[in-house]
């Protein structure tokens, strides 16, 4: 077993113990639901986007996205009903960046998507470009590379990219 896997198992076990202890303190005995354990685990390791079904961590705006959850409990980031709808929203943003704003390099896309006022845009663009096997300033066909681009953005935003290619393709096809 790799050190990262061991660490993640330890974190998961700690999250389970914490939730059970909190429920016992609240007089709820040892009963718990797996959803609360999963949400606590994702929050602990910084995967808010996965928990919100918003793996691109799209912020609230004046856009009401298709598949946006009716209840929005996260004050900063949109919550979607399914990961596919979150991926759909990311796909729509990438479409607008490439067609409306004529952005066709990883540096240009990430510069708009993750502005330097909130992110280390250079490092972000470098990581995404490396995942695509291009340089940050190399021209890419956004439509042809969209699934790869989305997977790389998800990995950078969440530290992991947990979705099967079929899930990403479904999200893209909904766009």
**74: buried, middle or exposed (CB in 10 Å: 19+, 13-18, 0-12)?**
middle
DSSP, collapsed to helix, strand or coil, labels residue 161 as coil
Q: Specify whether the backbone of 115 is left (phi greater than 0), alpha (psi in -120 to 50) or beta.
A: beta
pLDDT in the model for residue 75: 95
Phi, psi of 69 (to 5 degrees): -60, 145
What is the pLDDT confidence band of residue 36, given thresholds at 50, 70 and 90?
Answer: low
What is the pLDDT confidence band of residue 47, given thresholds at 50, 70 and 90?
Answer: confident
**pLDDT over threshold 60, residue 118:** yes
Record the pTM.
0.76
């Amino acid at each position: 077993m790799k050190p990262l896997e061991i660490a993640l198992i330890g974190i998961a076990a700690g999250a389970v113990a914490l939730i059970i202890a909190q429920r016992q303190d609240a007089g709820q005995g040892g009963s718990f639901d797996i959803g609360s354990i999963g949400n606590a685990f994702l929050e602990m390791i910084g995967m808010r986007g996965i928990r919100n079904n918003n793996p691109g961590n799209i912020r609230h705006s004046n856009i009401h996205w298709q598949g946006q959850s009716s209840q929005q409990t996260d004050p900063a980031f949109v919550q979607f009903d399914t990961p596919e709808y979150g991926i759909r929203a990311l796909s729509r943003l990438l479409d607008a960046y490439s067609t409306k704003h004529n952005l066709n390099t990883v540096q240009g896309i990430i510069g708009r998507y993750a502005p330097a006022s909130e992110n280390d845009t250079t490092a972000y663009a470098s990581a995404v470009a490396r995942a695509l096997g291009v340089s940050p300033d190399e021209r890419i066909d956004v439509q042809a590379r969209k699934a790869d681009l989305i997977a790389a953005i998800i990995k950078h935003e969440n530290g992991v990219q947990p979705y099967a290619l079929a899930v990403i393709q479904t999200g893209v096809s909904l766009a």
